[in-house]
Amino acid sequence: MNIEAKDLQTALIEASKQFECSVIDLEYEVIQHAKTGFFGLFRKNAIICIKGHKKTQKPHQEKTKKIHNEKFNKHMQKNFDKNESKKEYKENFQKPIEDIAQPKEHYKVKNDAIFDSFHKESSEEKNIASYIDEIKISLEKLLATFDFDIKVVQVSIWDENCVLIKLDGEDAALLIGKEAHRYKAFSYLLYNWLSAKYKIQPRLEIAQFLENQTQAIENYLKILIEKVESTGRVQTKPLDGIWLKLALEKLRERFPDKYVAIKQNDDQRYIVVNDFLKKNE
């Protein structure tokens, strides 16, 4: 008999009720462990297979054991309810991420709390180099909770305000997602954490996704640059996320003497390149 519940404790309690026995009397096998998932996706319930349980006690012992079972089950349920809020990720990313079993590693964690809080300011002034090990360990712990085969390949300094984070694995495409929707969500998660805690920004590379997108943007910008050089102005197609950021950086670098800015029309954002207005115009 299989029993499914949101976690192992709940499944065992439900089984003990159905078989009218104590949890410790159950003979079971765990078919599937519960998974919290990622951004509400890929969450899995716990599934156990009940193979049997110890035989019912004699009448004069049964009443005593039933009382014991009820107390034991209530105790487990109470402990579970008390800690339930600590076991789930919050979609607004404003709650601390739960502690995860320490993986094997050769780095020293400088802060035992994982991500501590996305909105907790650091009390000490540090340079980026001192954050690298701590960021890498926190990321490894976070990725260990995913159902994706993804590893932290590199965490290094990109510039004085940015760290380069490289991830790769067999499931890299899944973490990027269709139209890069998971890539954008994960980038936003990292940005909120790193910006609030360390006052720095992430540059996220999953497999060669960012490199390929950078090349695609550069090819697109070649056409725009030709238009600017011939007409003096241009407007990009609607862009968002990393594409908007890359295009803005490249155009400002190419045209330092021109007005290069992001404009918004309804929910769409694009970049305009134009001459600065003179005072007499």
Q: What are the pLDDT tens digits along the chain (281 aa)?
A: 888 888 888 888 888 888 888 777 778 888 888 776 655 455 678 888 888 776 555 455 555 555 555 665 565 565 555 555 444 444 444 444 444 444 444 444 445 555 454 444 444 345 778 889 999 999 999 999 888 899 999 999 988 889 999 999 999 999 998 888 899 889 889 999 999 999 998 999 999 998 898 888 889 999 999 999 999 999 999 987 778 888 898 899 999 999 999 999 888 999 999 988 655 54
Q: Domain 89-206 is classified in which CATH homologous superfamily?
A: K homology (KH) domain (3.30.300.20)
The answer to whether residues 209 and 184 touch, using CB atoms and an 8 Å cutoff, is no
What burial class does residue 193 get, using C-beta atoms within 10 Å of its C-beta: 0-12 exposed, 13-18 middle, 19+ buried?
A: buried
Domain 211-274 class in CATH = alpha beta
Every domain range in the chain assigned CATH 3.30.300.20:
89-206
Every domain range in the chain assigned CATH 3.30.1370.180:
211-274
> Looking at the DSSP assignment, which residues form a beta bridge with residue 53?
26
Integer Cα distance of 12 and 206 in angstroms = 39
| Opening angle at CA 23, ends 21 and 24, nearest 5 | 105
